[in-house]
Structure 1
């Protein structure tokens, strides 16, 4: 039997991470069994422990990788600056509270999709989640400070952080509510998203 190469092993590990990222966010960490996960990744059940010591270790990596991707989008949006669709933060809010983001819980920001799971799991998972949240707050606060300076206003860094916490909390909460009622009250779900988009930056 041919030996697996380092490249094959790395690819298999990445397949597991990607499958877990989709499944954990759409179904919840506890709802996904290792056998089901490995099948989704196109691998055998027994191979899981060649890559991860436990499901908890996998959850930590999934949380970190998901936030890295999401924060990368945030950073690029801020770097692009204002455009015809508004300021960076206006575009972030519009994308976050869009029907597309609502309807794809297996992708996008893990803040809403993993919020309940993070609180129920190990401190390592919670730490990875908290680090991701902090990334959003830091990015938002810096942009509030930059916008104020650009307009000739002066705000205290503490006030910028308070605004960042409020904004992110409203975004995540609105998305969670919109997803929770989407199937039974689609008009309410749309209304929640629309209200969030219209007033998050008031």
Structure 2
């Protein structure tokens, strides 16, 4: 059997990480086996350990990539707008959209991995990756808030992200019922009040 070139090996590794990143977000960090990942990548199971020492090593790299992708998605939305307010609206609308709810493989890793982190050891690499990724997203949200006071900015970012997180998780848990859309709509109305006020019917 011919030896795989270094270029092909690197491409295979990227394919494995991409597949794992999507699967872990869909089903959680501990709900996926090496066999599942390799099947999704279109590669044979036996090739896994030529790229990674363990499933845990892959999980940590894949979770880091998931947070990087989330940050890039936010940055792309922000770059399309000239004002903080417009950028904030865009980020909230993306996060609390039916698209985000219905496509967990491409959506928020904070929500996807939260359940796993409740049982993860405090010193584990996975938990440290999660904390770093979450703090980066909180910092990014803070830059879009209309305050220069750092303590207030942090507090507002914590509150707003908690609401975004909760609404998205609850909307997934109730998907298929009208309550699912209600969670998303209610959170958007609170977090993007200008948009909400524009939707109010005129008094006659």
Give the TM-score range, shorter chain.
0.7 to 0.9
Indicate the residue corresponding to 1:190 in structure 2.
181
- Is structure 2 residue 157 aligned with structure 1 residue 158? no
Aligned runs of 1:71-86 on 2, under 5 Å? 71-82=71-82
Indicate the residue corresponding to 2:118 in structure 1.
119
Contact 1:119 1:126 in 2 (8 A): no
State the shift of 1:72 in Å: 1.1
Q: Deviations over 1:108-166 (max 9, x none)?
A: 2211111112333351011111111111111121222xx34xxxxxx421100110111
Runs of 4+ residues deviating >3 angstroms: none
Indicate the residue corresponding to 2:143 in structure 1.
142
Q: CA RMSD in A?
A: 1.6
TM-score normalized by the length of structure 2: 0.87
Paired with 1:58 and 1:119, the residues of 2 have a C-alpha distance of 20
TM-score normalized by the length of structure 1: 0.88
Q: Deviations over 1:13-68 (max 9, x none)?
A: 11111111111111122221111211111111111111111111111111111111
Aligned runs of 1:14-53 on 2, under 5 Å? 14-53=14-53
Paired with 1:87 and 1:70, the residues of 2 have a C-alpha distance of 19
Gaps of 5+ in 1: 149-154
- Is structure 2 residue 1 aligned with structure 1 residue 8? no
Gaps of 5+ in 2: 194-204
Number of aligned residue pairs: 190
State the shift of 1:201 in Å: 4.8
